[in-house]
Amino acid sequence: MAHQYAKTLFTKTVRQVQSEQNSRTGYKGMDVGEDYNFMLSETEADFIGQRDSFYMASVSETQWPYVQHRGGIKGFLKVLDSKTLGFADYKGNRQYISTGNFRTNDRVSIILVDYPNRRRLKLIGRISVVDEQDWQTLSALEDNGYRARVERGFTIKITAFDWNCPQHITPRYSESELSNLIEPLEKQINALELKLEAELQSKVILANSRPISETLGDGELSLVISGIRQLTPEIRAYELRRKNNEPLPKINAGAHIQVPVILENKQLVWRNYSISSNPERTDSYEIAVKKEQHGSGGSQAIHQSYQLGITLNCKAPRNNFSLNKSNSTSVLIAAGIGITPIKSMALALLKQDKEFELHFAGRTEEYMAYADRLSRQVGDKLHLYISAQGNRLSFNQLMANRSDETNFYFCGPASMLNTFKQCAIELGISSDRIHFEQFNQAVNESARACQLTLTKSNVTIDVNSEQTLLDAVLEANVELPYSCMVGECKSCVVNIPKDADVEHLDSCLTDKERTLKMCLCVSRPRSKVLAIEL
């Protein structure tokens, strides 16, 4: 036996169109089976009882269809029995088009929509006016507490019905539905606000009990910590502004800034952090600091002591990792906290409408700073590699078969940087198209202890295998300029004997310069002793 809805509405012409559009096969099942779909079940009755409006179509004597919206209180369309619907017809605009149409053609079509849950029910049937003397039916159709004048009642004998798919239904919510959604959220927000207030009070007490200077450093650029955000469980962002919101020095993507830090032993040190904010901004800089559990203590000190309102007398921004000015494609690669300079590069390239890709690797998305924001900002140019999901970044796949003009930029751990550089060499990519930055240069695993003699200062220093030469000199209270600490800026370059056997690990000196000079921050003697001009 055919499905009543299909039997009634799937005419010969309709079926022909279905065949032309390749949908006929999907509806063949409606031509057989139980003839059930003209009798309402509890599912349909409950759905109808929850609606406060529906759309009703009639056909005029001129064969024109007319669609009207009917509304009332929830459940004003009544399920009188499994085959019959009814509703009270309240006074409206008094055009009476539907009522007039039903006098000559009692066919009616109704659509009821549940917008929040994206469901809709379609019904067809025969409609009739309730006789004025049928007080029992009219009484059943009235809605208690609804102050509107009932002009007549209608009942509908159902011919067929069908549930429609949710596609293209945009969720909409009534005021009461929104209230039901918002109420638990408001309770949760209130609870969080109380908790936050308590935590802030405890932090204020803790801060007041701990002697933290309100001004740190002696750099030329005075900045105030104006905002602090927790980006991941390990990474915290700090917004830095000038007092009175004066404009900041203009920077280019990839720039970094040196900020002062007081270590646990009260020693003042300087640490480099990329400026991760949009380089177009001149109102504030943002740096992101990962709390390193096994580092030298700088990041932990920042997390513990940097608070809103503290003034940092920083050193002016510098850039050893700038974008190539060509219009060629840029491949940006970041791992972990290395996203900080890469983020600013992506925003700059986006502003310049240049071709680029952004590849970002991390443990889990929860630990990948700025991943959600970059997804919104650069869209499908962002590619995430989440190792916990078995999705690992391959330098060879990213760098092979590229044009001879493509530029590659990388920032991340030392181990990945070495792989990046080695891959570029193996693929024959020229060094002028390879760009990288790394702030925390690890001491080479093959490094040995050595003795360093400072000829001008007349000081001899024993350097252990886990120290850089620069750290050892600074700990000996010998002053010398330094900045990047990763062999890129030449600040800590010193003169060495012409015959000195040195392993040069910098990226700033030429081969000729290396015969007479070295960078103390990264390079190291292969011999047990070395004399330098300092």
Under 8 Å CB-to-CB from 203, ≥6 apart: which residues? none
Instruction: Answer whether 80's CB lies under 8 Å from 86's CB.
Output: yes
Is residue 10 one of the residues assigned to a domain?
A: no
- Give the three-state DSSP class for 332: strand
Under 8 Å CB-to-CB from 339, ≥6 apart: which residues? 276, 360, 368, 369, 370, 371, 374, 411
44 and 157 share one domain: yes
113 and 156 share one domain: yes
Percentages of the chain per state (helix, strand, coil), in multiples of 5: 30, 30, 40
End-to-end Cα, the chain, rounded Å: 101
Q: How many domains does the chain have?
A: 5
Instruction: Answer whether 302's CB lies under 8 Å from 290's CB.
Output: no
223 and 292 share one domain: yes
- Overall pTM > 0.85: no
**Phi, psi angles (nearest 5°) of residue 99:** -60, -40
Is residue 265 one of the residues assigned to a domain?
A: yes
CA 399/CA 506 separation, integer angstroms = 23
51 and 154 share one domain: yes
- What Rg do the C-alpha atoms of the chain give, in angstroms? 37
Under 8 Å CB-to-CB from 494, ≥6 apart: which residues? 480, 517, 518, 520, 532, 533, 534
Is residue 3 one of the residues assigned to a domain?
A: no
Q: What pLDDT is attached to residue 402? A: 93
CA 89/CA 156 separation, integer angstroms = 13
Q: In terms of residue numbers, what domain contains 67?
A: 38-164
Q: What pLDDT is attached to residue 480? A: 83
Cα angle, residue 472 at apex, residues 466 and 478 outer, rounded to 5°: 175
86 and 145 share one domain: yes
Is residue 472 one of the residues assigned to a domain?
A: yes
479 CB burial (10 A radius; 0-12, 13-18, 19+): exposed
Q: Tens place of pLDDT for every residue, the chain, 534 residues?
A: 458 888 888 899 999 998 888 888 878 778 776 655 678 888 899 999 999 999 999 999 999 999 999 988 889 999 999 999 999 887 766 788 999 999 999 999 999 999 988 899 999 999 999 987 888 888 888 887 676 677 889 999 999 998 887 778 888 888 888 888 888 888 888 788 777 766 665 544 444 444 445 899 889 999 999 999 999 999 999 999 998 889 999 999 999 999 999 988 888 888 889 999 999 999 999 999 999 876 667 889 999 999 999 999 999 998 989 999 889 999 999 999 999 999 999 999 999 999 999 999 999 999 999 999 999 999 999 999 999 888 999 999 999 999 999 999 999 987 788 899 999 999 999 989 999 986 555 566 567 899 999 999 999 999 988 788 988 888 888 888 876 677 777 888 999 999 999 999 887 888 899 999 999 988 999 999 999 999
65 and 149 share one domain: yes
Question: What tokens were used for 297?
Answer: 């203590």
Instruction: Answer whether 314's CB lies under 8 Å from 217's CB.
Output: yes
CA 272/CA 421 separation, integer angstroms = 22
Is residue 71 one of the residues assigned to a domain?
A: yes
The CATH number given to whatever domain includes residue 59 is 2.30.110.10
376 and 460 share one domain: no
Q: What pLDDT is attached to residue 67? A: 96
Token pair 């891959």 in the structure block, residue: 423
Is residue 445 one of the residues assigned to a domain?
A: no
The CATH number given to whatever domain includes residue 504 is 3.10.20.30
